[in-house]
Amino acid sequence: MIVVENLSKDFKIKIKEEGLKGAVKGLFSNKCEIKSAVKDISFTINEGEIVGYIGSNGAGKSTSIKMMTGILTPTKGRVIVNGKIPYKDRENNAKDIGVVFGQRTQLWWDIPLRETFKILKVIYDINDDEFKEKMKFLNDILELEEFIERPVRTLSLGQRMRADIAASLIHGPKVLYLDEPTIGLDVVVKEKVRDAIKLLNERYNTTVILTTHDLSDIEELCNRIIIIDKGMKLYDGTLEDIKNKFGSDKILNIKIKEHIENKLNINEILNLSEEDLQEEIKDKEIIIKFNKNKTTSSEIISKIIDKVNIIDFAIKETTLEEIIKKIYKDEV
């Protein structure tokens, strides 16, 4: 469905010197520097996949998405989407894709939302039966009827986002690019948007590329993630694999009845290194960070239960956010 091969994008940035003198010199100077926004990225996305495409600000994800949608032309490499090269066949590519940018809208601001959909019907040359069927589906999953007669400028952020998603889907795109689709939305509306994306994927087998800083979106929707930073691909794989590979640490919090002064030295009892198990005593609590590939929480508790009176305990897994922070910091 989507093939990205050795994709790179460079931008020429004019060099400006400081101060008034530098500004004047800049008018007559052609000095430029080359900034590489995307550097030799390759991956393949199959039909029907929902893929999280994530990176910090300035990582290159927006630039690479713009090349996939046909807005930008690569400096090197190539992109093929549904058999087409997007930047060479923009018109036909536009019929195959839907795009939603969280901070921008494709809707007509001053006319009722229903009229926007009628205009899109003409633009995309959608026949009456297909339009009726698609509008019913979109109404069902996004609950548009409550505000469909209102001008877009009067809609709340959550309503506008649902309307934007509907507008991007009205022509039945094979690929949907979502850039921060839940940004600024409350919990209830976020859930509606996520459910809509899931149902769309299940019913029409639509391929979805999701860029977001909200990692709960990724965990709710995606089985696979691609992480990029400084224009380069850092990781491409399943959520399960990244957690198994980089999320081996667990934290066991054990509440106890009495105060204890000294550590129990659980790592020595289990014959583990301090790298694989660290123990901390805090008031009436024992905090143990351990490598789940080396031991288990039940094994740890079995060694402690004879030494102290346990009141309660809780286990915390390494979160996806913590794993990605480690990857960005080159700690893994």
Closest of 38, 87, 40, 82 to residue 58, by C-alpha: 38
- Percent of the chain exceeding pLDDT 70 equals 94
Tell me what pLDDT residue 33 has: 80
pTM over 0.75: yes
pLDDT for 181 equals: 81
* Tokens encoding 269: 């009892």
Nearest to 96 by CA among 86, 110, 111: 86
Hey, what domains does the chain have and what are their CATH numbers? 42-243 (3.40.50.300), 248-329 (3.30.70)
Q: What is the mean pLDDT of residues 8-15?
A: 83
pLDDT, tens digit, 9 for 90 and up, residues 81-135: 999 999 998 888 888 899 887 667 788 889 999 999 999 999 989 999 999 998 9
pLDDT digits (tens, 9 = 90+) for 230-269: 889 989 999 888 888 777 888 999 998 888 878 888 888 9
**The dihedral sign for the CA sequence 28, 30, 31, 36:** positive
Please give the Cα distance from 266 to 290 (Å, whole number): 10
Contact between 81 and 97 under an 8 Å Cβ cutoff? The reply is yes
Burial of 227 per CB tally in 10 Å (0-12, 13-18, 19+): buried
Query: What Cα–Cα distance (Å) separates residue 259 from each residue in 117, 256, 304, 308, 312?
Result: 67, 8, 14, 9, 15
DSSP letters spanning 87-146 = TTSHHHHHHHEEEEETT---S-TTSBHHHHHHHHHHHTT--HHHHHHHHHHHHHHH--TT
